Structure 1
């Protein structure tokens, strides 16, 4: 019996050795650790909110889900159209996409980048008349007259059917606000020509500079004095809207702080870092 036990033990050891060698050989077929592809935006990365509008679904909430946290909107009345990359969102009068919050973007951002693609056929309208249309807004209970901590709108410009005045508004937790505007004779020609255009708005806390890029090109840098970190009051944020202003519509239907975007939107991104010009140009070139 002892002899049999001894032989079984040797046999088990041999089998274990063969399996071990086989496992080593199999592991050799895998790439070295450094060769694995890196996540473009790892957990906790700088891309805090991202909507592609590209998901195929009968459920409109699924079509506007945030890709970084799988956060669904509470409302999506926009339809789907062909975008710059896959599908995109199409707005129309009094429609909106609404979320509870832009994840932890406002609480983590000292600097930031807002990037997206837009397509609009002719002048923007508030109701039936020429006027403001909002790309996005962040409503707030901070007591500011706008009822927002941030919003971006394109406004009508009488000089051309394809030009737009562009106005980006920021409100910090101390109620300091700043309007970064390109309007009147500085309105941007050609952005309402029914073609897709890439926009990126970059705020750098180190310099307090705010830069607008269109189709990868720097179209002007403005400075918020010596403001430094954006310092938003995340505790007062009451929502996040794509394609809609921060307020409610009024009885006459012409509240410019409600008026929504009536064109196309694609690849909407919020970063809590200031992208470099090369990084912005890459988003444009790669249709991201």
Structure 2
């Protein structure tokens, strides 16, 4: 028997009225326990028609040259022409402790005469190098500099992820205590040890998207392509947070699924005076009991009048449960959904699966 795909949301055990309201509000709008992706977020650029920082920092950018706003991964994206386009941030970033960068990138290849393809940089040959993320040789690189003046520089570097031309990819440069990690489309592809715990602290060098100001006006380090959903953190991200940013699904802080729902059906009973509901579960490791809920489906596809029908004690073994619902009116469509109360008191709602029948 195939296992049904499940989404779930967990709430502390509450009154029937409160649970009904919560459950009704979730139908069609799945809400899972999520990580706080605003924690430590020091800059966030949606690039929806501008270079505004939507984080609480308000570190807005100003676009120069060949920067336009085009269809992106989500909404619009900032497009750099690879020759003259760049964005200058109002305030430079402090990367002394290392920063974490998470963003969508669409690389369009290097324009003839350009080299480093700088995505974001705090880098000046005269004053000092600080950090640089670039697309050199169609690969994604990240550099954090301990000291960097003139031709003498050293620091920590991580490479590489292959960037196919004209393809969107999600990248995360994750700086943790002893290592730098490179995630590509939600998967960790590289990890390297940090030689340095802090990096060049100079506050006189500006931060730019799309170019390196190599001793002044940069003329051969432009990025050619598009950037979207660009986040900068002053803390490391966890594996599940990175997965959330890539997939768009809430995957953090979810407890293990206690019971697996393998079937769920509703049909008119044999007497024709009610609806017979049946479901089957397995792996009831932490299940205490199940609740069966009924909704009325109305003409516009919405669900109304959530009603708790019955509670069934979990058996701890693969079990077939059933219930006959006689409190129905002929011609109405009824939808049934399940929740599970676990031994820790949390109630888990199975949101991807329902059973539906029309009363005779």
Unaligned runs of 5+ in 2: 1-21, 23-32, 251-360
1:115-158 CA distance string (max 9 Å, x none): 1111123x323xx24732100101358843xxx211111112xx
Distance in 2 separating the partners of 1:91 and 1:262: 5
CA distance in 1, matches of 2:212, 2:125: 14
Q: In structure 1, how many angstroms separate the alpha carbons of the residues matched to 2:35 and 2:182?
A: 27
Q: What is aligned with 2:239?
A: 277
Task: Note if contact 2:107-2:167 (Cα within 8 Å) is conserved in structure 1.
Answer: yes
Counterparts of 2:97 and 2:90 in 1: how far apart (Å)? 21
SS at match of 1:218: strand
Query: Structure 1 pair 179/41, CA: closer, same or farther in 2 (3 Å)?
Result: closer
Q: Distance in 2 between matches of 1:95 and 1:83?
A: 17
Flag as ranges the 4+ runs of structure 1 deviating above 4 A.
Answer: 37-42, 173-176
How big is each residue's C-alpha offset from its partner over 1:74-126, in whole Å with a ceiling of 9 and x where there is no partner?
A: 43441011111111011011111111324xx517x6353111111123x323x
Residue 90 of structure 1 is matched in structure 2 by 79
TM-score by length of 1: 0.64
Deviation at 1:67, TM superposition (A): 1.0
**Preserved CA contact (<8 Å) 1:151 1:246:** no
Q: How does 1:1-288 map to 2 (within 5 A)?
A: 40=36, 45-55=39-49, 63-68=50-55, 69-77=57-65, 78-92=67-81, 93-102=83-92, 105-106=93-94, 110-121=97-108, 123-125=109-111, 128-129=112-113, 131-139=115-123, 143-144=127-128, 148-156=129-137, 164-172=138-146, 177-182=154-159, 188-189=161-162, 191-204=163-176, 206-207=177-178, 209-225=179-195, 227-228=196-197, 230-236=198-204, 238-247=205-214, 248-249=216-217, 253=219, 255=220, 259-286=221-248
Number of the residue aligned with 2:14: none
SS of 2:167's equivalent in the other structure is coil
CA distance in 2, matches of 1:287, 1:89: 24
Per-residue deviation, residues 152-179 of structure 1 (Å, max 9, x unmatched): 11112xxxxxxx2333221236977324
Q: From the superposition, tell whether residues 149 and 243 of structure 1 become closer, same or farther in structure 2 (CA, over 3 Å).
A: same
Higher strand share: 2
TM-score, normalised with respect to structure 2? 0.52
Q: Is the 8 A contact 2:158 2:190 kept in 1?
A: no
CA distance in structure 1 between the aligned counterparts of 2:148 and 2:122, rounded to whole angstroms: 16
**Bigger radius of gyration among the two:** 2
Number of matched pairs: 212
CA deviation after TM superposition for structure 1 residue 64, in Å: 0.5
Shift of 1:193: 2.8
SS of the equivalent of 2:84 reads coil
* SS of residue paired to 2:94: helix
Where do 5+ consecutive residues of structure 1 fail to align?
Answer: 1-30, 32-36, 56-62, 157-163
Q: Deviations over 1:177-214 (max 9, x none)?
A: 324243xxxx543x22312100000111x22x011000
Q: Which has the higher helix share?
A: 1
CA contact (8 A) 2:130 2:148 kept: no
Question: What is the DSSP-based 3-state SS (H/G/I as helix, E as strand, rest coil) of the residue aligned with 1:110?
Answer: coil
